[in-house]
């Protein structure tokens, strides 16, 4: 490790670290508030909401900022960090709104409501740090903070057998994959003698490591990172966890930690592993995994009859699409990923929110129980149609624009076969997304089907998510600009 990269952090560094500081502060305040004002979950809820909105407002300033390392050179703030801060704050706000009116979280018999909101704040801060790590030590710590909080949130409904099983599976899979990743990190440190990304990159550029050891490092690291983004073959936990966890938590998991995992992967692979491309073709490795991920996710999703499980497999498939853009190593591919992550967050949160809203009255996520919803709850069903169209990638929705940029980036680099596999996969996905639509509109509800009142807050949130999903399909310029600005100073390209 060269000496010039070592810095001693001082208080002024916190200026560049404000959104995270706010989220961690909100976490502590929410915990304290919950202790002082007992049995009023509105206190932690309000604290965390205020924190997320503050972090959101603070994050925009950094979009055009050049790269700057802070806190001992272990954390980097640049446009991309700002973009992910914005994304995670938005996800946190949406998750809070979804949770607040959800019976699964706020039901009379639930405990620890305050801690639930506190953990959302902690995870949001942790995901932001994941997007900013530029050191193997921070990579591991930030990943572990998010993982530990996820295990707890998955097991939040602790008197539910399904939730306990989900949490336990998550812990065991998570512990094993992070152990495997740690072994990979130790090999990488042994090869390069450095913990910072810059040091690792320099050592690799100078020829450290031979093909076999570098390939082993890549595979071991992908076990840990692939687990976070639910990439085949490290996806086993996802369907069970998404199904067993409270639905608002599944919604959060399917967008938040996944996006954070991508942010971490982008920064790590783009910065450090590029000089090693001549010795280990990790781009091809990821291309193969990308094809496996989207194909597996889509094919298995076709057979699902539980909507939560179906959405879990769909989120695996989406990780596959995103991986396509990831291995392009171009600014265009990176912009496409960022834009797609934003769009994906909107539409996937929306689809999960629909499930949450219905679960309050139906107490079920079975597809058969969605029969006739198009007439029993016309507005919500119409918005669900928007999300489903967008998830498939049909115009005029945001999902179409997102996929368009993604596929364009892949084609420009000449990976035609990959793009073709992606398009074929989108066709498969049309089948199962439309299965939901068909059940809602063309299957008659049984005569004794219960009414499905939807909480006003859920209506509002549905509109807040559906409107941009449609709007971005027509006027995407402003948001695409956000992604473009985030990448402009990304020096690793």
Partner 1 sequence: MSGDLVFYGFALLTVLSGFFVVASRNVVHAAFSLLFTLFGVAGLYAQLGADFLAVTQTVVYIGGILVLVIFAVMMTRIPRGDAPRRGLDRAVPAAILALLVFALIYMVIVGTRWPERAAGAPEATVAEIGTGLMTTFVFPFEYASLVLLAAMVGAAILIRERAPADDAADADDAAGEGEVRS
* Binding residues vs partner 1 (CB under 8 A): 6-9, 24, 31, 39-42, 71-75, 100-101, 106, 108, 111-112, 115, 118-119, 122, 126, 129, 135, 137-138, 141-142, 144-145, 148-149, 151-152, 155-156, 158, 167, 187, 190-193, 203, 208-210, 212-213, 216, 455-457
Nearer to partner 1, 8 or 36 (CB): 8
Q: Taking the complex as a whole, how short is the minimal distance between the CB of residue 392 and partner 1, in angstroms? A: 33
Nearer to partner 1, 56 or 171 (CB): 171
Q: Taking the complex as a whole, how short is the minimal distance between the CB of residue 330 and partner 1, in angstroms? A: 31
Q: Which helix (H) or strand (E) holds 281?
A: none
Nearer to partner 1, 24 or 479 (CB): 24
How many other β-carbons are positioned within 10 Å of the β-carbon of residue 4? 7
Nearer to partner 1, 41 or 320 (CB): 41
Distances (CA, A) of 479 to 26, 159, 341: 28, 42, 11
What are the helix and strand counts (H, E) for the chain? 20, 2
Measured distance CA(250)–CA(158) in Å, rounded: 15
Nearer to partner 1, 145 or 382 (CB): 145
Q: Taking the complex as a whole, how short is the minimal distance between the CB of residue 142 and partner 1, in angstroms? A: 8
Q: Taking the complex as a whole, how short is the minimal distance between the CB of residue 6 and partner 1, in angstroms? A: 5
What residues contact 278, with CB distance under 8 A and at least 6 apart? none
The CA-CA-CA angle for residues 366, 370, 374, to 5°, reads 165
Structure tokens at 170: 């998550």
Nearer to partner 1, 65 or 455 (CB): 455
Q: Taking the complex as a whole, how short is the minimal distance between the CB of residue 331 and partner 1, in angstroms? A: 30
Alpha-carbon radius of gyration of the chain: 22
Nearer to partner 1, 39 or 444 (CB): 39
Structure tokens at 93: 């706000």
The answer to whether 39 touches 55, Cβ cutoff 8 Å, is no
Q: Taking the complex as a whole, how short is the minimal distance between the CB of residue 153 and partner 1, in angstroms? A: 9
Measured distance CA(121)–CA(27) in Å, rounded: 5
- Rounded to 10 degrees, the C-alpha dihedral 483/484/490/491 comes to 160
Q: Taking the complex as a whole, how short is the minimal distance between the CB of residue 68 and partner 1, in angstroms? A: 15
């Amino acid at each position: 490790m060269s000496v010039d990269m070592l810095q001693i952090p001082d208080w002024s560094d916190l200026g560049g670290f404000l959104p995270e500081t706010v989220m961690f502060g909100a976490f502590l305040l929410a915990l304290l508030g919950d202790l002082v004002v007992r049995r009023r979950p509105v206190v932690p809820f309000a604290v965390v909401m205020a924190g997320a909105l503050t972090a959101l407002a603070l994050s925009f300033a950094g979009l055009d900022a050049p790269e700057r390392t802070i806190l001992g050179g272990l954390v980097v703030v640049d446009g991309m960090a700002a973009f992910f801060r914005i994304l995670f704050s938005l996800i946190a706000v949406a998750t809070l709104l979804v949770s607040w009116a959800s019976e699964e979280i706020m039901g009379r018999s639930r405990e620890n409501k305050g801690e639930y909101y506190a953990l959302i704040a902690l995870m949001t801060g942790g995901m932001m740090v994941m997007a900013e790590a530029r050191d193997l030590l921070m990579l591991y710590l930030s990943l572990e903070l998010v993982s530990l909080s996820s295990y707890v949130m998955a097991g939040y409904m602790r008197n539910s057998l399904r939730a306990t099983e989900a949490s336990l599976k998550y812990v065991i899979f998570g512990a094993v994959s992070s152990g495997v990743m740690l072994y990979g990190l130790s090999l990488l440190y042994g090869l390069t003698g450095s913990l910072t990304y810059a040091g690792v990159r320099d050592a690799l550029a100078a020829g450290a490591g031979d093909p076999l050891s570098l390939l082993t490092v890549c595979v071991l690291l992908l076990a840990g990172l692939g687990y976070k983004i639910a990439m085949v073959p490290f996806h086993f936990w996802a369907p069970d966890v998404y199904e067993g966890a409270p639905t608002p938590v599944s919604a959060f998991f399917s967008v938040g930690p996944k996006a954070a995992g991508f942010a971490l992967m982008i920064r790590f692979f783009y910065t450090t592993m590029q000089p090693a491309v001549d010795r280990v073709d990790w781009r091809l490795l990821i291309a193969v995994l990308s094809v496996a991920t989207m194909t597996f996710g889509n094919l298995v999703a076709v057979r699902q009859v539980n909507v939560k499980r179906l959405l879990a497999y769909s989120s695996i498939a989406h990780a596959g699409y995103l991986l396509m853009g990831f291995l392009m190593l171009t600014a265009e591919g990176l912009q496409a990923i960022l834009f797609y992550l934003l769009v994906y967050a909107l539409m996937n949160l929306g689809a999960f929110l629909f499930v949450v809203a219905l679960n309050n009255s139906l107490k079920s996520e079975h597809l058969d129980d969605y029969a006739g919803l198009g007439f029993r709850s016309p507005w919500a069903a119409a918005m669900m149609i928007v999300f489903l169209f967008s998830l498939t990638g049909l115009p005029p929705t945001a999902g179409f624009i997102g996929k368009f940029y993604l596929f364009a980036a892949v084609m420009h680099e000449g990976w035609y076969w990959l793009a073709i596999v992606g398009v074929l996969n989108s066709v498969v996905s049309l089948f199962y997304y439309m299965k939901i639509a068909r059940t809602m509109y063309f299957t008659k509800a049984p005569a004794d089907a219960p009414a499905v009142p939807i909480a006003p807050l859920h209506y509002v949130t549905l509109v807040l998510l559906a409107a941009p999903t449609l709007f971005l399909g027509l006027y995407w310029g402003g948001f695409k600009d956000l992604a473009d600005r985030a990448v402009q100073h990304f020096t690793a390209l």
